[in-house]
Structure 1
Amino acid sequence: MEIENSGDGASVTITNKEKEEYGGVIGSIHISSLENSESSVVDLTGLVHQLPCCIKHDGPSSVSQYFKPNKSGIVMENGISVEETHFRGRKLQGANIPLPQGYSGYVLGKKKKPIKRKTCEEEDRDSWETCARFQSITYWNHDNIPSQDDVLLRSFHWFKIANALHAPVPIDDLASVPNLSC
């Protein structure tokens, strides 16, 4: 995987070797920087929902006409308000969770490629670009009140672990570790 960080954003490219090793597709993702994309990237904070179901529809629909969450009056142990709504006759209870400091969510769309002739050596790469950004996500449970034990909230623990793993180790801490010989 190649990661390139330029002044206007970051790009991630999956190489042929990784495609063979992990399966999948070859492509690149371009995430626009915040400074250069304020006007072109839509902010969907408060509008992103993770539903506990599979919707096999890809196209426009009048979601706001039918999907109308309301405050339930219940507050979780961490102070977050619980919302409720119904989807296809089933009660959903959810909570709007802010993403951790320093993290953002992105909605990606396929970048339109100029039409050109390909040579035999050229790869068919998909290119993705930022369409929207969000700082919070509302997740929903069927019939259950959201809790700290929900999978989405537990997955947020990884952010703290990752930060600790990748943080620089102070020299004093290294000096205090005894030499280990194998």
Structure 2
Amino acid sequence: MEKAASIDLKRDGKGMEDLSGRVHQLPCCVKHDGPASVSHYFKPKPAGVGDEGLPLQLAHFRGRLLQGTTLQLPHGFVLSKKTSPPSSQHSWDTNATFQDITYWNHDYVPSHNDELFRAFHWLSLAKAVKGGIMQYPPPSESDMGRQKAKTSKAIWMIQAPQTFYGSSSR
């Protein structure tokens, strides 16, 4: 059985390069992990605005047309939190940051329905949910020690700053 491993990502904030505008997610697999003259061959160009109001870019990679858009990363999220060191741990130092990412599609224009776009939308929703999910009405002390019957109804609410969103009973 394999042991669990983790990565300790150190960030001191000093002398880190800002890679904003230069981070791309391509719809392909590149089996190379060494240096490459990417900026010499990969040259995205602005292509106006798409039907959904997203700014479009065009580029070619290995002879195929790519259509992309740049997404701003949400603020306030942490890649990982430091925990007690397991038996197998690797230590990495952060040497660059970025505030946006350009993602590319092969056969279709970027859309609000793309998985990456929706994932970043979920991060914004998760930030609102971070305020807490509470059951209304709150369970009484006598309910704390025993499980409620499956037929009981509750309203679940997500607390965002100055907003409450309710859902139907289960």
TM-score (norm 2): 0.68
Is residue 104–residue 134 contact of structure 1 (8 Å, CA) maintained in 2? no
**Percent identity of the aligned residues?**
45
Q: Residues 167 and 178 of structure 1: is their aligned pair in 2 closer, same or farther, counting only changes over 3 Å?
A: closer
Larger deviation, residues 156-165 vs 42-51? 156-165
8 A contact 1:44–1:133 mirrored in 2? yes
CA-atom RMSD in angstroms: 2.9
Q: CA deviation at 1:102?
A: 2.9
In the superposition, relative to structure 1, how do residues 149 and 56 fare at CA in structure 2: closer, same or farther (>3 Å)?
Answer: same
Tell me which of 2, 17, 36 is aligned to 1:42: 17
Aligned residue pair count: 137
The aligned counterpart of 2:67 is 93
The correspondence for 1:56, drawn from 24, 31, 36, is 31
Does residue 18 of structure 2 align to residue 68 of structure 1?
no
- Classify 1:83/1:27 alpha carbon distance in 2 versus 1 (closer, same or farther; 3 Å): closer
Pairing 1:102–2:62 present:
no
Structure 1 or 2: more helix by fraction: 1
Separation in 2 of the partners of 1:61 and 1:98? 26
Q: How does 1:156-175 map to 2 (within 5 A)?
A: 156-167=120-131
> Is the CA contact 2:66–2:107 (under 8 Å) kept in the aligned structure 1?
yes
CA deviation vs aligned residue, 1:54-109 (integer Å, no higher than 9, x gap): 000111111111100001123352x331000100000000001111233488xxxx
Q: Where does 1:1-182 land on structure 2 (aligned, <5 Å)? A: 24-32=4-12, 37=13, 39-77=14-52, 79-103=53-77, 123-167=87-131, 177=137, 179=139, 181=143, 182=148
Change (3 A) 1:178 1:57: closer
> Structure 1: where are the runs of 5+ without partners?
1-18, 106-121
Partner letter of residue 29 of structure 1? L
TM-score w.r.t. length of structure 1: 0.64
